[in-house]
Chains A and B, each alone.
Chain A
Amino acid sequence: MNLRKAALYGGAGLAVVVLVEQATGVGELTSSGTVGASLRLAIPILMAALGGLYSERAGVVNIGLEGMMIMGTWFAAWGAWLYGPWWGVVLGVLGGAAGGLLHALATVTFNVDHIISGVAINILAAGGMRFLSVIAYADPATGGGATQSPRVPGLPTVDLPFLAGGSLFGWDTPDLFGGLERLGWPVVSDLGGILRGLTGGLSWLTVIGLALVPLTWFALWRTPWGLRLRSVGENPWAAESLGVAVYTMKYWGVVISGALAGLGGAFLVLVQANIYRESQTAGRGFIGLATMIFGNWRPSGALGGAVLFGFADALRLRDPAAVRALLAVVAVGLAALAVRAVLKGDPRRAATVGGAAAVFGLVFYSVEEVASEFIFMTPYVVTLLVLAFASQRLRMPAADGVRYRKGEAT
């Protein structure tokens, strides 16, 4: 049922994209380069979003994700510099988890306001990592400095054999999807480009990051542990009365949250940049948090939001002119949502969504070249609008951000 629905939506989406590409002559929407870049830009945001999910499902608001991600970037680079890239991943995760532990200590044990603790962690991480850089890279011979690490070894990337032309035991296999993309046939080449982007230049961290989405769903919605964790976020007093160790579950949620944010930071350093640079996270933790909220505190929503943001970001970086084509795609998508609302008998919603679709369509038709300021805004606007209109009703965990003390149940 769900799979059929997903296939239907995917097929419809592809049809729209292909039509727009044919109409505007923009090829970047489905090129393997754009799809690969989207994936790379999406993963750090996705990790922060999943991190936020664990924490908020356990009832702790985590605005400190950005700080935990910063800790992840620093420790990932330091670990990779000392021991190699995989140790970088381990240390990055541990660094983020340490930030999570601090947040848990403050909010769960000491009952500090969640926002205040989170903001404090963001400030602390920025300053603390600067301090560590000064110590670790004090010797100019390291090649690092107060604001950056030396170049560190990155994780290798692979092209899947046969599908994307990777080599197998030293033999260069044919590049099936790449070949399809180069044919230049509509639909076939678009599909080839998308699949080539998803199967070529892959890092193991990308695979792990994507695998964490179903894993998170399974852990939170299909295991007793997940039920306990979510119950703590919905009604900790009821959970306590049933014998759930509320503090422990909250600690789990927040520490995992930090670890995932740290993994996102490690991805930034070890897959994309091969260097730690001060403030290189550039707000990705906050974007992840927002994605998770607009994704309705669900793993699938977080994935959708992160991928959408990554796609829009990749598109504007790769070909600013293609952003105009994206506006057309969004307009058609919103129009489809409006039609759905009409069919479901919700005229007010249909009017709002339809209005937004009309605005996008109008901008697409009336503007020859989109202003650079707007191009830069696109990822934010598109993600916000699509997620806001796609989810019917946002419902946060009932006890999210609520202070809880053991033994206060009445």
Chain B
Amino acid sequence: MSTTSDIPGKLIFLGRPHTAGRPTIEEEFDVRKTRLIALLAVLALVAAACGGGEGAGDEGADVLVGLAYDIGGRGDKSFNDSAAAGLDRAKEDFGIEAQELEPTAGGENREENLQLLAEAGADLIFAIGFAFADGVANVAPNFPDTSFGIVDAVVDLPNVASLVFAEEQGSALVGCIAGLMTESGTVGFIGGVNIDLIQKFEAGYIFGAQHCNPDVQVESRYLTEPPDFSGFSDPAKGREAAAALYDAGADIVYHAAGGSGAGLFEEAAARREAGGQNIWAIGVDSDQYNTVSEDLRDVILTSMLKRVDVAVYNTIEAFVNGEFNAGVNVFDLSVDGVGYSTSGGFIPQDVIDKVEELKSQIVAGEVTVPTAP
């Protein structure tokens, strides 16, 4: 049984028998056809290249920007989308060319993507996310004429701009809002993964809440520990952690947990429906009032804005103008790299006044926000 089934396979792999001497008429025709197709393909390429040349004329016309997304890629309604928005805006304003790559679901090929973009001749390459730190450190030295920008991590190389955010400052502002608006006297924080970057959010939030309301209690929960990064994409765990915080007496909960934050909004909405009038959630990274479905909007008090789009756009602008700044570029409150949203109009004016006061104090350097809890 098994031996007979092998025979057709062998026939296929042997292919057509070779014929010695001159090619047959059929084969001659095959060769001609192939040549014709190749010629057509070359013509098409030339035409495409000419077409690409038209419509240029801006200062960034011959700049190729490469952008390597982190897990999730374009369409993640969060971090990556924010970077994409900055890129799209720069494309319109400066007429640059762009090439974008997304990693596999596990993110194993981050470094490969950087390498590919560099080999494709990109002049400026963005690595979106701290997980690219090793990849940039490995790839950037091999392409000294290429500029790199990495978000959320510091890579100390002459051709790398490290684009970092003062998350603690933005978190302090939403913490202040929570501290002023809590009725129970307890507010909560959910971190996706227990890493330094997320602890910055927590530290700022606790500081802001206690700065504006010295009596407030802050309860924190983390969903996973590194190297398990599923805490950024597990709404079920996010929801259970939110339930725990609300059960523990918190009435306003802030999350820095990426996709798991959807669970927080669900839990808040369910409790609102069950009669919890002063139950609120605070979003992160983008203005989540605008990204969640309409049924959930009413529970989103505010969002801590982390303007990855601003970082990407400003870096491209600087590059196009020949002012690319390698080294650490901090996007903080003073350049509106972080902030808070007021969509929905849930925050009373007197609270906004106090938050703005804290903001100006932070910008002026009168108040320093800690970066670790």
Q: Are A and B associated in one complex?
A: yes
Could you give, for residues 237-249 of chain B, a 1 whenever the CB lies within 8 Å of some chain A CB and a 0 otherwise? 1011101100110
Is the pair A318, B247 in contact by a Cβ cutoff of 8 Å? yes
Contact residues on B (Cβ < 8 Å of other chain), bracket:
35 or more
Q: Which of A127, A275, A317, A405 has the most chain B CB within a 10 Å cutoff?
A: A317
A148 touching B77 in the complex, CB below 8 Å, given contacts A268-B236, A273-B236: yes
* Closest chain B CB from A67 CB (angstroms): 11
Q: Is B262 at the interface (CB under 8 A from chain A)?
A: yes
Is the pair A317, B237 in contact by a Cβ cutoff of 8 Å? yes
Which one, A48-56, A235-243, A276-284, is touching chain B? Answer: A276-284
Interface residue from A33, A146, A280, A407 paired with B243 (Cβ < 8 Å):
A33
Q: Is A40 at the interface (CB under 8 A from chain B)?
A: yes
* Closest chain A CB from B236 CB (angstroms): 4
Is the pair B235, A37 in contact by a Cβ cutoff of 8 Å? no
Is the pair A146, B73 in contact by a Cβ cutoff of 8 Å? yes
Is the pair A41, B240 in contact by a Cβ cutoff of 8 Å? yes
Q: Is B182 at the interface (CB under 8 A from chain A)?
A: no
* Closest chain A CB from B311 CB (angstroms): 21
User: Which residues from B are CB-within-8-Å of A146?
Assistant: 72-76
A376 CA / B222 CA spacing, docked (Å): 9
Is the pair A274, B266 in contact by a Cβ cutoff of 8 Å? yes
Q: Is B293 at the interface (CB under 8 A from chain A)?
A: yes
A373 CA / B257 CA spacing, docked (Å): 18
User: Which residues from B are CB-within-8-Å of A407?
Assistant: 1
* Closest chain A CB from B27 CB (angstroms): 36
Chain B 89-105 interface residues, beta-carbon cutoff 8 Å to A:
104-105
Q: Is A358 at the interface (CB under 8 A from chain B)?
A: no
Is the pair A318, B262 in contact by a Cβ cutoff of 8 Å? no
Q: Is B221 at the interface (CB under 8 A from chain A)?
A: yes
Is the pair B239, A279 in contact by a Cβ cutoff of 8 Å? no
A277 touching B240 in the complex, CB below 8 Å, given contacts A130-B105, A146-B75, A407-B1: no
Q: Is A369 at the interface (CB under 8 A from chain B)?
A: no
Is the pair B234, A282 in contact by a Cβ cutoff of 8 Å? yes
Is the pair A272, B225 in contact by a Cβ cutoff of 8 Å? no
A151 CA / B292 CA spacing, docked (Å): 8
A280 touching B233 in the complex, CB below 8 Å, given contacts A145-B75, A150-B293, A151-B292: yes
Q: Is B208 at the interface (CB under 8 A from chain A)?
A: no
* Closest chain B CB from A11 CB (angstroms): 27
Q: Is B147 at the interface (CB under 8 A from chain A)?
A: no
Q: Is B371 at the interface (CB under 8 A from chain A)?
A: no
Interface residue from A147, A273, A372 paired with B72 (Cβ < 8 Å):
A147
User: Which residues from B are CB-within-8-Å of A314?
Assistant: 240
Q: Is A126 at the interface (CB under 8 A from chain B)?
A: yes
* Closest chain A CB from B328 CB (angstroms): 29
Q: Is B86 at the interface (CB under 8 A from chain A)?
A: no
Chain A, residue nearest B230 (CB)? A282
* Closest chain B CB from A48 CB (angstroms): 14
User: Which residues from A are CB-within-8-Å of B225?
Assistant: 372-373, 376
* Closest chain A CB from B199 CB (angstroms): 11
Interface residue from A33, A280, A376, A405 paired with B259 (Cβ < 8 Å):
A280
A37 CA / B296 CA spacing, docked (Å): 22
Is the pair B233, A273 in contact by a Cβ cutoff of 8 Å? no
User: Which residues from A are CB-within-8-Å of B244?
Assistant: 33, 37, 317-319
User: Which residues from B are CB-within-8-Å of A318?
Assistant: 240-241, 243-244, 247
Could you give, for residues 137-154 of chain A, a 1 whenever the CB lies within 8 Å of some chain B CB and a 0 otherwise? 100000101111011001
Is the pair B76, A317 in contact by a Cβ cutoff of 8 Å? no
Given A33-B244, A272-B240; 20 other pairs, CB 8 A cutoff? A31-B247, A33-B247, A37-B243, A130-B105, A145-B75, A145-B76, A145-B77, A147-B259, A148-B76, A148-B259, A151-B292, A273-B236, A273-B266, A274-B266, A280-B259, A282-B233, A313-B237, A317-B240, A318-B243, A376-B225
A-B contact pairs, 30 of them (CB 8 A): A40-B240, A126-B105, A134-B75, A137-B75, A146-B75, A147-B76, A148-B259, A150-B293, A151-B292, A151-B293, A151-B295, A154-B266, A273-B235, A273-B262, A274-B235, A274-B266, A275-B235, A275-B266, A278-B71, A278-B233, A280-B259, A282-B228, A282-B230, A317-B241, A317-B244, A318-B241, A320-B221, A373-B225, A376-B224, A376-B225
